[in-house]
Structure 1
Amino acid sequence: MSAQTSSSSQSASSLKTIRTTIPARLDRLPWSKFHWLVVVGLGTVWILDGLEVTIVGAIGSRLTEPDSGLGLTTAQVGLAAAIYVAGACTGALVFGYLTDRFGRKKLFILTLGLYLLATVLTAFSVTPWMFFVFRFFTGAGIGGEYAAINSAIDELIPARRRGLVDLAINGSYWLGTAFGAVLTVFLLNTAIFPPNIGWRIAFGLGAVLGLVILLVRRNVPESPRWMFIHGRDEDAEELVGTIEHDIEEQTHERLATVPDDKGITIHQRRSTGFGEIVRTAVTRYPKRFTLGLSLFIGQAFLYNAVFFTYSLVLTKLLHVPDDVAPWALVPIAIGNFLGPLLLGRLFDSVGRRFMITLSYVGSGVLLVGTAIMFDAGLLDAFWLTACWMVVFFFASAGASSAYLTVSEIFPMETRAMSIAFFYAIGTAIGGITGPILFGRLIESGSHAVAIGYYIGAGLMIAAGLVELFLGVDAEGKSLEDIAAPLSSETPAQRPTR
């Protein structure tokens, strides 16, 4: 694939006002090898996050054993999970701001590099504090990835496929979950690996996968949308022209010409200040701000609470052996992956508002039923896992759509920072408190855990109702039509929301 351009053949020092049809040209492209490069090079990082979360969840009980080399308490396992999420929140905010300022590509290379280094160091932890520190920086790398990757993907994928592609990519997280679950079954088998070695190998294998992704990612270009706003319009034109030429050679058909009236006028800028980013979200789009926060808090609490501690529920409350518990994550991961994959097309055809509401409210209602049966002692490990498969089939589509939503509904100049902000705040509220709360609820017994399930269900249902009333009908629309760039000469004439 030759969709590369010189990194700085055009100086960004001479900013000017331009008119460009690049967004319309990108949106009218047929699916091609270029788009597969974007999906594989950028989207596969969610597999790493799924792997990381699952490994810690699956090995949680092993890390509490004295001969593991760490000897954590049950509460410390939940604390380690919370520290990982805190790192992800911090990384999202720091790297999200840098992504909008310095470009998508520089940051999606840097953040993956940080993940690789930190996860390797995690494998060599010999004390709890070392494990906590390295988990923080592993999370920081993954959090930065969310901002850089989601913004780049949405800016490179045609509008008519954006919903399906985003949901499928975010759903690939669960491929990592399934892989991590199967992997830990063997790595926790003390007949194969000593108790203090198997869990270390798991983190090392995550680094190997990350290295492979890094090699592919080097070929993914910078976002042309970011380039033309930041003074590199000539480079952006060259890049898009190369992409179009390659697609025409692949399809043996000429692409339709995009008329000038489909273009937008841009006052180029070097960067967007943090104050302007905040004002844009809070004052120009207050309803969208509320929407993004609600969606992220609901899904973050549910997922981080359950998956960081599910192995403990099985082993401590349902008395499942340590080397068997990880297998339960495989069918749950399959349900989570199939939800976004099978429902994704409906987010582009039926529409965002209806499908997001259905995903959130539906999963919340199903979770209430699961909590009632669990509290009554009607569910053993098999049936609890079966219930989670159904709940997360819908919840996974909803969680994936949260990232899609905040990536679409805010202006280009603030896109990465918007993703970072909502991920960080929502995850800090739901993702840090969830694991700590559930770690303590598990120590208190099944009735306490059921209360935690009710809380998660309530947050999901509430978020779904917010989507019903405040959702944005973004299906099939160009990003610039959903939220006009701050640099645009003629902002969209629509009420702020």
Structure 2
Amino acid sequence: MTTQALPPPANAPAQEHLYSTDIPARLDRLPWTRFHTLLVMALGITWLLDGLEVTLAGSVSGALKDSPVLAMSNTDIGLAGATYIAGAVLGALFFGWLTDRLGRRKLFFITLFLYIGATAATAFSWNFASFLLFRFLTGAGIGGEYTAINSTIQEFTPARYRGWVDLTINGTFWLGAALGAVGAVILLDPTVAGGELGWRLCFGIGAVLGLLIMLMRLWVPESPRWLMIHNRPEEAERIVADIERHYRERGIEVPPLQAPPLRLRARDHTPLREVFHSLFVEHRRRALVGLTLLTAQAFFYNAIFFTYALVLTDFYGVPAAQVGWYVLPFALGNSCGPLLLGRLFDVVGRRIMISSTYLLSGVLLGVSGYLFEQQLIDVTQQTVAWMVIFFFASAAASSAYLTVAETFPLEIRALAIAVFYAFGTGLGGLIGPTLFGALIETGSRLNVFYGYLLGAALMVIAGTVQAIWGVAAERQPLELVARPLSQAEDPPSNL
């Protein structure tokens, strides 16, 4: 169980370093323990922050419209949502590139610091332009978090737990949504803080949580897989050996190694030409699947969730200060979906589960949209409908991130997450909130129904693409799902 330098091939450049390592196999064989639980809590809580931010944007929309300082319209609310998404897109691309070059650990501190500062600054917005700027920077921090966090969790989690863990973590988005909803209801109450002060205090919730998360992450080590491919095998070996030592000290039996060692060529970074060749030439079919999945879920989620409060207030007459209560059952359905269905993604398989959750979500949205347009459901029934739809849609959306995180080579994992998140969210997430804000502004249920049909069609298309070309990555080591770019050819028989 060692990482060992190997003599380079006779025709290799003089500066090339070749070594053999069993670090991935050692990480994949580990039983689940307190180490993994604490790691997931410290890192996966990023999704909670995003849920908090997105929910706050919806829950305080009524207060933002009534604010004497901001005086936002429905279209402005949609634009603010799109601005947050734009920040997330650009932040994901920039910080994703840095994450693959500088390391997972550095970047999940940098991006969290940016998020804390930006969301705190949002509370002090003095006009609409400043509000948009701070929402953009908040989104940039969250987008960067996604790339650093998802890649780190993927690289530490044993292969047999990877699907369930990834989906469950993504489901914590809705714990943040519930927190944001309750916080908005309490703080917007005139007897507590009221509209103008209340919405400002709401954005302070994220800053406080971010500071607590910063402390939780201090003990998290760098990803041994990242160190391994960036010519720092000794550090990777020390981290893995320390993890294994805790197993021995607690008397936990560790299964024997099953996979052979990897032979890797050391590198400091991966050239962008090689990145794009891998993403769009060598793995172009996987790229199509990832782009389709993320685009569909981004439009589906962001269009509906950034503007759900407007539907409740404009079409059902729900008071703006009470909107948060309707988020709670909505958040319950979303959080239960990944938790209850997640294990099936490892047992039944990725291709079947991803495609079926996408298809079900699309069909159910189309049906509920028709009932909404025909005024056949009241506000309670509308909330129940959303709860059922997003039980499946939450698992579907989470599986999109799982797909792009595990089906591309280790050296470009964070950037791959960033690229497809950026493309998918840019296409679906930027257009969705703005389009739906404008459709709701017309006051026509038929126009809103057309928007729902568009979201439903995108989900059905994505489910079909996954069913045809999806990768069966369940219970497989990351290095087997996608061969590392730095992996050397199999050794000759005399080695």
Q: TM-score, normalised by structure 2?
A: 0.94
Say yes or no: does 1:232 pair with 2:249: no
Cα deviation per residue 1:461-486 (whole Å; 9 max; x = unaligned)? 10000000000000000000000100
- The aligned residue for residue 269 of structure 1 is 267
Task: State the alpha-carbon separation in 1 of the partners of residues 393 and 381 from structure 2.
Answer: 18
- The aligned residue for residue 477 of structure 2 is 478
Say yes or no: does 1:422 pair with 2:404: no
Cα deviation per residue 1:187-240 (whole Å; 9 max; x = unaligned)? 111222132100111111111011111100111110000001111101101110
Question: Where do 4+ consecutive residues of structure 1 move more than 4 Å?
Answer: none
Task: State the alpha-carbon separation in 2 of the partners of residues 240 and 437 from structure 1.
Answer: 49
- The aligned residue for residue 7 of structure 2 is none
1:83-482 paired onto structure 2 within 5 Å: 83-250=83-250, 252-258=251-257, 262-444=260-442, 445-482=444-481
Task: State the alpha-carbon separation in 2 of the partners of residues 359 and 335 from structure 1.
Answer: 14
Matched to 1:47, the amino acid is L
Task: State the alpha-carbon separation in 1 of the partners of residues 202 and 278 from structure 2.
Answer: 43
- The aligned residue for residue 4 of structure 1 is none
- The aligned residue for residue 5 of structure 2 is none
Matched to 1:451, the amino acid is Y
Matched to 1:59, the amino acid is V
Cα deviation per residue 1:387-425 (whole Å; 9 max; x = unaligned)? 001100000000000000000100000100000011011
**Per-residue deviation, 1:381:** 1.0
Task: State the alpha-carbon separation in 1 of the partners of residues 230 and 35 from structure 2.
Answer: 23
Cα deviation per residue 1:431-452 (whole Å; 9 max; x = unaligned)? 0000000000001121111111
How many residue pairs were aligned?
475
Matched to 1:118, the amino acid is A
Instruction: Tell me if the contact between 2:181 and 2:327 (Cα under 8 Å) persists in the aligned partners.
Output: yes
Instruction: Tell me if the contact between 1:407 and 1:415 (Cα under 8 Å) persists in the aligned partners.
Output: yes
Task: State the alpha-carbon separation in 1 of the partners of residues 349 and 313 from structure 2.
Answer: 41
Matched to 1:403, the amino acid is Y
Instruction: Tell me if the contact between 1:15 and 1:231 (Cα under 8 Å) persists in the aligned partners.
Output: no
Say yes or no: does 1:76 pair with 2:115: no
Q: Give the secondary structure class of the aligned counterpart of 1:64.
A: helix
Matched to 2:473, the amino acid is A
Task: State the alpha-carbon separation in 2 of the partners of residues 384 and 357 from structure 1.
Answer: 25
Instruction: Tell me if the contact between 1:328 and 1:385 (Cα under 8 Å) persists in the aligned partners.
Output: yes
Q: Give the secondary structure class of the aligned counterpart of 1:213.
A: helix
Task: State the alpha-carbon separation in 2 of the partners of residues 339 and 256 from structure 1.
Answer: 32
Instruction: Tell me if the contact between 2:67 and 2:196 (Cα under 8 Å) persists in the aligned partners.
Output: no
**Per-residue deviation, 1:258:** 2.6
Q: Give the secondary structure class of the aligned counterpart of 2:196.
A: coil
**Per-residue deviation, 1:88:** 0.1
Cα deviation per residue 1:244-277 (whole Å; 9 max; x = unaligned)? 0102222x14423437x61110001000122211
Q: Give the secondary structure class of the aligned counterpart of 1:262.
A: coil
Matched to 1:339, the amino acid is G
Tell me: CA distance 1:80–1:255, structure 2 relative to 1, closer, same or farther (3 Å).
Answer: same
Say yes or no: does 1:56 pair with 2:38: no
1:8-27 paired onto structure 2 within 5 Å: 16-27=17-28
**Per-residue deviation, 1:15:** 6.4
CA RMSD in angstroms comes to 1.1
Instruction: Tell me if the contact between 2:188 and 2:321 (Cα under 8 Å) persists in the aligned partners.
Output: yes
Q: Give the secondary structure class of the aligned counterpart of 1:266.
A: strand
- The aligned residue for residue 40 of structure 2 is 39
Q: Give the secondary structure class of the aligned counterpart of 1:197.
A: helix
**Per-residue deviation, 1:107:** 0.3
**Per-residue deviation, 1:490:** 2.8
Q: Give the secondary structure class of the aligned counterpart of 1:70.
A: coil
- The aligned residue for residue 495 of structure 1 is none
Instruction: Tell me if the contact between 2:30 and 2:255 (Cα under 8 Å) persists in the aligned partners.
Output: no
Instruction: Tell me if the contact between 1:15 and 1:230 (Cα under 8 Å) persists in the aligned partners.
Output: no
- The aligned residue for residue 494 of structure 1 is none
- Structure 1 spans left out of the alignment, 5+ residues: 1-13, 492-497
- Structure 2 spans left out of the alignment, 5+ residues: 1-14, 491-495
Q: Give the secondary structure class of the aligned counterpart of 2:31.
A: coil
Matched to 2:373, the amino acid is D
Task: State the alpha-carbon separation in 1 of the partners of residues 178 and 216 from structure 2.
Answer: 22
Instruction: Tell me if the contact between 2:62 and 2:320 (Cα under 8 Å) persists in the aligned partners.
Output: yes
- The aligned residue for residue 10 of structure 1 is none
Q: Give the secondary structure class of the aligned counterpart of 1:324.
A: helix
Matched to 2:182, the amino acid is V
Matched to 2:22, the amino acid is T
Instruction: Tell me if the contact between 2:58 and 2:305 (Cα under 8 Å) persists in the aligned partners.
Output: yes
Q: TM-score, normalised by structure 1?
A: 0.94
Cα deviation per residue 1:43-69 (whole Å; 9 max; x = unaligned)? 0111000000000111112101143x3
Instruction: Tell me if the contact between 2:330 and 2:384 (Cα under 8 Å) persists in the aligned partners.
Output: yes
Q: Give the secondary structure class of the aligned counterpart of 2:263.
A: strand
Task: State the alpha-carbon separation in 1 of the partners of residues 245 and 176 from structure 2.
Answer: 35
**Per-residue deviation, 1:105:** 0.3
Q: Give the secondary structure class of the aligned counterpart of 1:48.
A: helix
- The aligned residue for residue 8 of structure 1 is none
Task: State the alpha-carbon separation in 1 of the partners of residues 66 and 172 from structure 2.
Answer: 32
Cα deviation per residue 1:52-107 (whole Å; 9 max; x = unaligned)? 0000111112101143x321121111101100000000000000000000000000
Instruction: Tell me if the contact between 2:62 and 2:321 (Cα under 8 Å) persists in the aligned partners.
Output: no
Instruction: Tell me if the contact between 1:61 and 1:74 (Cα under 8 Å) persists in the aligned partners.
Output: no
Task: State the alpha-carbon separation in 1 of the partners of residues 438 and 384 from structure 2.
Answer: 24
**Per-residue deviation, 1:38:** 1.1
